A = this chain, B = another copy of it.
């Protein structure tokens, strides 16, 4: 499938979904829309992903089947400056996929236009209607369950999840990812955006996915969200921790991050404090150990400094650590198997 990805003003550093789709999805990306970077190419900004031209608007994008909204601002609203591109996409016969809290299908203009042009509006953050509370049974599944947990948002939990599943499959392990956020869902084609469900059903939504994935796979890697000490999103993190009832945790962190992104008055605890926080909180429901660390070193200059940062992080959490984008996820795989 040919897709264009909207990422105005945010590509690549604030466009997690765009980068995730470029890196992991099976789609053929024909263009990234970012008026601030028009004329460049995706790989000018993010080495190692599939390449695509960056263009200023949907008018400049080649033929494609779908427009993906590849950015999600805090709060998940729809930015009205995106409206002309979404409109153009629909008029050109493209489906539109988004993971916002604001549902495109509930937008009067988009719903009418989509109807006129026979295209679909896919709101991947819309939860299933039949969710309910957790039963506390995810710990009973017949599979190894691993959960990626983080020190903050945007530190690499989704990336670590995807890389770990890929590394396991290369080793011949029957592994599955459990996507809990919009990007993972767009990449894997299933999942529930756990931050959008009724709060009472947070753990239940995760439990159901773990049970489903474990029925057919030997290793289940659950994509974590947020951070257990995030002033806004910790509820989601906590629900995933207790709903997944993982056997092992992988702690994800971004090198140099000292405060909560977007909430800079809140300093991050140390990595070792995070280990205690996650393990202590998991224990009464299901004991789980932080067995590995994933450090995102994209903002670290040079391989030597990156290596050093990874080693320091591993020493701090007293577990093997790596940067899954630079070095792959084999070390983490070793630690979880």
Cross-chain contact A199 with B235 (CB below 8 angstroms): yes
Q: Is A50 an interface residue (CB 8 A)?
A: no
Taking the complex as formed, is A148 at the interface, i.e. its CB lies under 8 A from any CB of chain B? no
Taking a contact as CB atoms under 8 Å apart, the answer to whether A228 and B263 are in contact is: no
Partner of A196, one of B75, B196, B198: B198
Q: Is A321 an interface residue (CB 8 A)?
A: no
Q: Which segment of A32-40, A277-285, A287-295 sits at the interface?
A: A277-285
Closest-CB distance, A166 to chain B (whole angstroms): 28
How far is A197 from B201 in the complex, measured between Cα atoms in Å? 10
A74 near B133 with CB under 8 A, answer yes
Tell me if A220 is interfacial: C-beta within 8 Å of chain B. no
Expressed in whole angstroms, the Cα–Cα distance for A204 and B266 within the complex equals 16
The CA-CA distance from A198 to B136 in the complex, in Å, is 21
Please report the C-alpha to C-alpha distance between residue A134 and residue B226 in the assembled complex, in whole angstroms: 13
Chain B residue contacts of A75, Cβ below 8 A: 132-133
Asked if A230 is at the interface of the complex by the 8 Å CB criterion, the answer is yes
Stoichiometry, as copies per complex, reads: 2
Does B195 lie within 8 Å of A197, measured CB to CB?
no
A242 near B231 with CB under 8 A, answer yes
The reply to whether A231 and B285 form a contact with Cβ atoms under 8 Å apart is yes
- For A236, give the chain B residue with the smallest CB separation: B199
A81 at the interface (CB under 8 A from B): no
Judge if A238 is at the interface, Cβ distance under 8 Å: yes
A200: chain B residues at CB < 8 Å are: 76, 101, 195-196, 232-233, 235-236
- Interface of A with B (CB < 8 Å)? 74-76, 101, 132-136, 194-204, 228-239, 241-243, 245, 260, 263, 265-269, 273, 276-277, 280-281, 284-285
Question: Roughly how many angstroms separate A199 CA and B198 CA in the complex, as a whole number?
Answer: 6
Considering residues A135, A242, A269, which has the most beta carbons from chain B within 10 angstroms of its beta carbon? A242
Neighbouring B residues of A236 by C-beta, 8 Å: 199-200, 202, 235
Question: Which residues of B have CB within 8 Å of A133?
Answer: 74-75, 232-233
With A136-B263, A203-B235, A234-B239 known as contacts, the answer to whether A229 contacts B197 (CB < 8 A) is no
Which chain B residues lie closer than 8 Å to A266 at the CB level? 136, 284-285
Least Cβ–Cβ distance between A267 and chain B, in angstroms: 8
Residues of B within 8 A of A132 (CB): 75
27 A-B residue pairs with CB within 8 Å: A75-B133, A135-B232, A136-B231, A136-B260, A136-B263, A194-B199, A195-B199, A197-B199, A198-B199, A199-B235, A199-B239, A200-B235, A202-B235, A203-B234, A229-B285, A231-B242, A231-B243, A231-B285, A232-B242, A232-B243, A234-B238, A235-B239, A266-B284, A268-B284, A273-B284, A276-B280, A281-B281
State in angstroms the CA–CA spacing of A20 and B239 once bound together. 28
Instruction: Collect the chain B residues with CB atoms within 8 Å of residue A238's CB.
Output: 228, 234-235, 237-239
User: What chain B residues lie within 8 Å of A198 (beta carbons)?
Assistant: 101, 195-199
